[in-house]
Structure 1
Amino acid sequence: MKYYLIAGEASGDLHGANLMKSILKEDPQAEFRFWGGDLMQAVGGSMVKHYRDLAFMGFVEVILNLFTILKNLKFCKQDINNFNPDVVIFIDYPGFNLRIAEWAKDKGFKTHYYISPQIWAWKEGRIKNIKQSVDAMYVILPFEKSFYEDKHQFPVHFVGHPLIDAIADHKQIMPETFKAMHNLDDRPIVAVLPGSRKQEIRKMLEVMLSIVDDFPDHQFVIAGAPSQDASFYAPFIKKQGVHLIMNKTYDLLSLSNAAIVTSGTATLETALFKVPEVVCYKGNYISYQIAKRIINLDYISLVNLIMDKQVVTELIQGEFNKKRLKEELTIIIDDYKRAVMFLDYYDLEKKLGGSGANDKTAKLIVESIKE
C-alpha cells in the first residue's frame, strides 16, 4: 500500500521515521512518499521536501514567507494527486497540515493525524476543521484524550508518547569513548540545546553561553541540530570551554549533568534522560506579544504541562537573561534539587502511557486501510 507522510520539523522527522519502521512491520510492501528529513529518508521511500525548507516560526515570520508557504501548499496537493496514496498521514505541523487535510478529505483520500496539533493551547477553533477533515487522530499526551473526547466529542486514540521508544532504543555510547571522540575532559557536562531553526538558535545561544565563565568546573556542549551545518555555529563557539557536537543529542544527554534547553520537544527528551534542566524561550517581540494574548497556558514546557505543576524552571522572554540563567543553573546542579527533580521525572514517565506508540499507531492505520 502507498503512504504519503508530511512532517515539517525535526521532531516530526524523528517520529515519522519510527512510524514508517512500524508500518513496514505491518505492511512489508509499504511504499512511502514524504515531506520530512534525513531520518525518514534513511528508512526509505521518496522525499519530496526537507523540513529545513519548511520551518517558519512565529506570526511575523509566517507573514514574511507567505508566498513560499502558499507555493508549497499548491505543490503538495499536486504531488498527493500524482502519487494517489491509500492514506495521507499528517505529523503535527498544523498550519500546513490542516489545510492539506481539508483538501485531501474533499478529494476522497483517507486522512490520519499522528501527534495532535496543540489546539488545547491555542486556536481551539481548529477542532471544527479537524472533525470535518481528519478520519483518525492519534494523540500522545495523556490529557489530550479527555480534551478531544470529553470536551469536543471527537473520538481519538491515545497511543502513548513515541519518545519513550526512541530513547529506549538508543544504544548508549561508553562515556570514555564519547569524550575521546569529541575532545571532552572529565568535568561535568552542561548540555546546551538551542533549538533547530536558525532564527531561534541565534536568539537563544548568545544568552545560553553568556554564563560559561561563571561555571569553570563544568564544560558546556552545544547539541548541533541535524537541520544545520556545523559552520552555522562557528560564531558562537569562540568561548573557551564551549564544544559543538553535531547530530548526537541523545548521546550527549545520556552523559550530561545538567541542561539548558529551548522550549519544545527537547524539554521532554531531556527529562526522559533524567537530566535536570532549565527551559528557556525568547521569540520575536511582536510574535511573543501576540502569542501571550491568545495562548491560555500556565506553562510552556511539555514537562510542566504534563505534570500540571512546575517541575522545571521556565525563563521566558525578559526573564531569559544572564543573571537569571546563572541563578537557575546553580540551583539544578545542587544535589538536593536534582534528587527532587528526578522523582518528578519518574512520575512524568509513568503518565506518558508506556512504550509502543509507533507500533500501536501503525497497526491502527494499516487495519483501517484494509477495512
Structure 2
Amino acid sequence: MRYYLIAGERSGDLHGGNLIKELRKHDSKAELRGFGGEYMREAGMEVVVNYQQMAFMGFAAVIANLGTISKLLKQCKNDILQFKPDVIILIDYAGFNMRIAKFAKQNNLRVFYYISPKVWAWNTKRAWKLKANVDRLFSILPFEKSFFRKFDWEIDYVGNPVLDAIKAFQPDPDFLQKHDLLTEKKIVALLPGSRKMELKRMIPVMAEVVKMNPHYQFVVAAVKTLPEDLYTPLSSISSVKFVYESTYDLLIHSQAAIVTSGTATLETGLFKVPQAVIYKAGPLEYWLLKRLVKIPFISLSNLIVNRLVFKEFIQDEMNATNLNTELELLIENNSYRKKMQSDYDEVYRILDTGSASENTARLMYNYLMK
C-alpha cells in the first residue's frame, strides 16, 4: 500500500520514524512518501520536504511566515494528488495538518491522525472539524478518549511514544567521563527547547540562575542544528557544560532540571527528575493564549493526573528569583523531591499500556484491511 505521512516537528519526525518501522512489519511492500526528517528517512520514507522548513513557533512566527506556509501547503497538496496514497497519516502539527485533512477529505482520500491536535486546550469546536475530516484518530494521551466522547466520537488510545523511547533507552556508561562531568557538584539539567524563539526567551533567565548557583554543575541539552549564538548567554559562563543528542543520558545523572514547556517536561518526569517548568510567549501571543486556552496547566504530566505535580513558571513568573527559590527546594528538600517523584510514578502507570508505535501500526493496518 501507499502511505503519505506528514510531520512538521522534530518530535513528530521521531515518532513517525518509529511508526514507519512498525508499519513495514505488517506491510513489507509499503511505499512511503511525505514531509518529515531524518528519522523518517532512515525508516524508509522518501522525504519531500524536511520538517525544519516548517518549524514555526507562536502566532507571530506563523504570521511572519504565512507566505512560506502557503507554498508548502500547495506543494504538499499537489504531491499527495500525484502520489495517490491509500492513506494519509498526519502526525501532530495541527495548524498545517488540519488543513491537509480537510483537503484530503474533499478529494476522497482516507485520513489517519496520529497524535491528536490539542483541541481540548482551546477552541473545542475544532473537534467537530477534526471528526468530519479524519477517519481514525490515534491518541497518545489517556484523557482524550473521554474528551472526544463528548463529540460522539470513539477514538483509539494507543499509549505514549515518549514512554516507548525511554523504555528502549540504553545509557552510555562513559557519559560523565566524555563530558568532563566527574564532579562532586550536583548536576542540574537545562532544557531550553529546540526552537529559536524558545531559546531567545528562556536562555537569558537560565543564565541568571546559573550565576546565582556556582555550587551546582549546570549542563545544557543543546541542539546541533540551531545557531550557536543563541546559546551565548550560557556558553559565555565558563562552568556551564553542553551536551548534544544526549538528553536522556543527562537526565539520568541530574538532581534537578529547568525545562521549557513541551514534550521534554514529560520525558524529564518519566526519568523521575524533579523539575521546574518555564514558558514565555510574546506579548501578542500571550494575550491571545490567555483568552483562548481553556486548561489549568501547560505541562502534560500535570494534565494527565489533573493536578500540580511540578510548578509552572509562566511569563513574568519566569524570573531568576522564583527559579532560584524553586531549584533549592528541588535539590535540597528531600520530602519535596519524594512527593514529586511519587507523582511521576502515577504518570508512568497511567501511560504504560504497551508500545504506542506497535499499537498504532497494528490498528492502522487492520483498519486498512477492512
177-186 or 329-338, which deviates more: 177-186
CA distance in 2, matches of 1:358, 1:229: 32
1:229 deviates by 4.8
Counterparts of 1:356-371 in structure 2, within 5 Å, are 356-371=355-370
- Asked whether the equivalents of residues 224 and 230 of structure 1 are also in contact (C-alpha less than 8 Å), the reply is no
1:234 deviates by 4.3
Runs of 4+ in 1 over 3 A off after TM superposition: 229-232
CA-atom RMSD in angstroms? 1.4
Q: Aligned partner of 1:291: which letter?
A: L
1:88 deviates by 0.6
Q: Specify the alignment match of 1:115 in structure 2.
A: 115
Q: Which runs of 5+ in 1 are unaligned?
A: none
CA distance in 2, matches of 1:123, 1:94: 13
CA distance in 1, matches of 2:234, 2:35: 30
Q: Specify the alignment match of 1:64 in structure 2.
A: 64
- Asked whether the equivalents of residues 164 and 354 of structure 1 are also in contact (C-alpha less than 8 Å), the reply is no
Counterparts of 1:142-221 in structure 2, within 5 Å, are 142-149=142-149, 151-174=150-173, 177-186=174-183, 187-221=185-219
- Asked whether the equivalents of residues 52 and 227 of structure 1 are also in contact (C-alpha less than 8 Å), the reply is no
The normalised TM-score by structure 1 is 0.96
- Asked whether the equivalents of residues 230 and 246 of structure 1 are also in contact (C-alpha less than 8 Å), the reply is no
1:184 deviates by 2.0
Q: Specify the alignment match of 1:312 in structure 2.
A: 310
Among candidates 239, 244, 247, match of residue 246 of structure 1: 244
Q: Which runs of 5+ in 2 are unaligned?
A: none
Q: Aligned partner of 1:233: which letter?
A: Y
Counterparts of 1:16-35 in structure 2, within 5 Å, are 16-35=16-35
Q: Percent identity?
A: 46
Q: Aligned partner of 1:358: which letter?
A: S
SS of residue in 1 equivalent to 2:143: helix
- Number of positions where the alignment pairs a residue of Structure 1 with one of Structure 2: 368
CA offset digits 1:47-85 (Å, max 9, x no partner)? 122222111112222111111111111010011112211
After superposition, the Cα gap between the structure-2 partners of 1:360 and 1:326, relative to the gap in structure 1 and judged at 3 Å, is same
Q: Specify the alignment match of 1:53 in structure 2.
A: 53
SS of residue in 2 equivalent to 1:344: helix
CA distance in 2, matches of 1:308, 1:239: 38
After superposition, the Cα gap between the structure-2 partners of 1:63 and 1:85, relative to the gap in structure 1 and judged at 3 Å, is same
After superposition, the Cα gap between the structure-2 partners of 1:280 and 1:320, relative to the gap in structure 1 and judged at 3 Å, is same
SS of residue in 2 equivalent to 1:289: helix
Q: Specify the alignment match of 2:102 in structure 1.
A: 102
Counterparts of 1:337-352 in structure 2, within 5 Å, are 337-352=336-351
CA distance in 2, matches of 1:52, 1:202: 18
The normalised TM-score by structure 2 is 0.96
CA distance in 2, matches of 1:276, 1:83: 47
Q: Aligned partner of 2:162: which letter?
A: L
CA distance in 1, matches of 2:44, 2:243: 26
CA offset digits 1:292-335 (Å, max 9, x no partner)? 11101111111111111111010000000010010111111122
CA offset digits 1:258-297 (Å, max 9, x no partner)? 1100001111011011111000000111101111111011
- Asked whether the equivalents of residues 200 and 230 of structure 2 are also in contact (C-alpha less than 8 Å), the reply is no
CA distance in 2, matches of 1:346, 1:181: 30
- Asked whether the equivalents of residues 204 and 233 of structure 2 are also in contact (C-alpha less than 8 Å), the reply is no
CA distance in 2, matches of 1:275, 1:42: 31
SS of residue in 2 equivalent to 1:333: helix
